[in-house]
Amino acid sequence: MNTQETDIVVNAANAGNFVTLTNALKAAGLGRITVSLDTLHPERFKTLTRFDQLDAVHAGIASARRVFGQLKIDTVVIRGVNDDELIPLIEYGRSVNGEIRFIEYMDVGGASRWSPDRVFPRRQILDALASHYGPIVPIDEPGSSAPAERYALEDGTTFGIIASTTEPFCKSCDRSRLTADGMWYLCLYATQGLDLRAPLRRGASTEELTALVSGGWRARADRGAEDRVALGDRRAFVPVQDLLRKDPHLEMHTRGG
C-alpha cells in the first residue's frame, strides 16, 4: 500500500494521544491525516461523542497542520443536530487549512438512532452553502475513485460531500478499513471482517499474507450502501440488540469512520 494514499482518522476516542504521535507517524511515512469533527459546540460535541474531548481534537488538528501542512475534516451532517453548522465548519476548515468533507448520515455502527428523516442530503447541503456563498462549482477529477464529490466556492475554497446514503457508489468503491487490532473490513457496512492479526502473530510469511489480502479483496461482494437503500425505512441495518452490543468492531469509531 502506498503510504502517501493512506489515511489515519483522528476522532474523540483517540485525539488525546494523537498529538504526541504526529511526528512519529510522519516519519513512518504517513502521508495524510483525516480528522472526524461533527460540531464546533462543546456541549453538542459531548452529546454526540460521549467524550469531553473537543479541545483535544482541536489540539490534534493543530498538530496535524504543523506536521502535514494540510488535512481533511470529516463531518457527518444530521438534520436537526448540526445542519446549522455547515458555514461555521467551512470557515473553521479555512482557518486550519483543512478541507471539509460533509457526509450524509449513514445507518452504520453506532448510528442506532438513524432514521431517513435525519438524513441531510447532498442537494440540501449545496443549497444551504450556495445561499450564503453564492455559486458553487463541481470539481472535475477524471479517474478519481475518492468517495467524495468535490466542489469549489467562488474564492477557491474547496470542500467535499459523500452522499453514500442517497446515492450509493458501491460499484466504484475501492476503500477498506483496518482496525487497530488487525480486523480488516471491506465495507463500512460490513458485519464481518478478516482477522489479519492472528496470521501476523503466528509468523505468516509475506507471501501468505499477500495471498490472504488479495484473495479477500477478489472475493469482495459488499454492497452495503445499496443494501441499506433496499431496506427502505426499516431500522436498523446493524440491529443494536442483535449485533452491535456483541461486537465492538461494528462501532463506527473502531473502523476509522
Predicted confidence at residue 50, as pLDDT, reads 84
- Residue 185 or 122, more confident: 122
Span 51-80, pLDDT tens digits: 898 998 998 899 889 999 999 999 999 999
- Among 32-41, 162-171, 173-182, 221-230, the range of highest mean pLDDT: 32-41
pLDDT band at 40; cut points 50, 70, 90 = very high
Q: How far apart are CA 104 and CA 25, in angstroms?
A: 29
* Residue 160 pLDDT > 80: yes
Answering whether pTM is above 0.85, one says: no
Predicted confidence at residue 2, as pLDDT, reads 41
**Going edge to edge, which strands form the sheet with 32-36?**
7-10, 32-36, 71-77, 98-104, 158-162, 149-152, 137-138
Q: Which of 190, 9, 194, 220 is nearest to 106 (CA)?
A: 190
For CA atoms 56, 59, 63, 64, the dihedral sign is positive
- With vertex at residue 90, the alpha carbon angle to CA 85 and CA 94, rounded to the nearest 5 degrees, is 145
- Among 49-63, 198-212, 235-249, the range of highest mean pLDDT: 198-212
Beta bridge partners of 195: 183
Predicted confidence at residue 179, as pLDDT, reads 83
Give the phi and the psi of residue 209 in degrees, each rounded to 5. -65, -40
- Residue 5 or 187, more confident: 187
The H-or-E segment that residue 59 falls in is helix 54-68
Predicted confidence at residue 9, as pLDDT, reads 60
Given 3.40.630.30, 1.20.58.1290, 3.20.20.70, 2.40.50.140, which CATH number is that of 3-104+122-162? 3.20.20.70
Mean pLDDT on 15-21: 65
Range of lowest pLDDT (9-18, 167-176, 197-206): 9-18
Give the phi and the psi of residue 175 in degrees, each rounded to 5. -100, 150
Listed in order, the ranges of the chain carrying CATH 3.20.20.70 are 3-104+122-162
Predicted confidence at residue 206, as pLDDT, reads 94
pLDDT band at 5; cut points 50, 70, 90 = very low
